Structures are given as structure tokens and as C-alpha cells.
Amino acid sequence: MGMGNLQRMAMQMQQEMLRVQNELAATNVDGSAGGGVVKAVVTGKQELVSVTIDPSAVDPADVEMLQDLIVAAVNDALRTARELGETKMAAVTGGLKLPGM
């Protein structure tokens, strides 16, 4: 394999990684907690888009429970987004773990 082929392959991989990153940025992933009373939406790039709270989850006497549900829902959505990103990047890199990806 010549140096030109290697460079061409590297450029193709870089372009494909950029395409996947753009696709992830445009993809929304849901997470939830408390049986769906708290829902979080994040992008595939792990940026929080929205949090939805069912009014039944709002108990002024137990704000701590609501806070815990919000954290759990956001973490659920982030975990799903991370797994989606890892799967899509692995398809591009052939399973190689590249720093920062």
C-alpha cells in the first residue's frame, strides 16, 4: 500500500467521521426517569435540548425527589447518546478507539 493510498484512506475516514459527527449533532435522543414523568432530550453530540416534567411529579414537599428524577433522566439520555456515538464512530473507524471521538 503506497503512501498516496494511505493518505487517501485517511482523508476518506476523516470525511466520513465529519459526516457522522454532523449526523449526531442533528439527532435527538430521549431519556426518562420515574416511569416517564421526567423526560430529557439530548443531541447525539450530548447537548441537552429539553427537559419535560409531568405536573404529577411536582411535589413542593419533596423537591429533592424531582431533582433526582431530572438528573436520572438527563443521565439516561446522555448514556444513550454516548452509546449511539460510539456505535456510529466504530462503523467508521473499524472499532479503533481514537482520542477525542
65, part of any domain? yes
44, part of any domain? yes
101, part of any domain? no
pLDDT tens-digit profile of 8-55? 888 888 898 899 999 999 999 999 999 999 999 999 999 999 999 999
Largest CA distance in the chain: 69
pLDDT recorded at residue 9: 84
Number of separate domains in the chain: 1
Q: What is d(CA 69, CA 81) in angstroms, rounded to the nearest whole number?
A: 18
DSSP code of residue 32: E
CATH number, residue 12:
3.30.1310.10
Which residues form the domain of 79?
A: 3-93
Calculate the average pLDDT of the chain.
89
pLDDT recorded at residue 23: 92
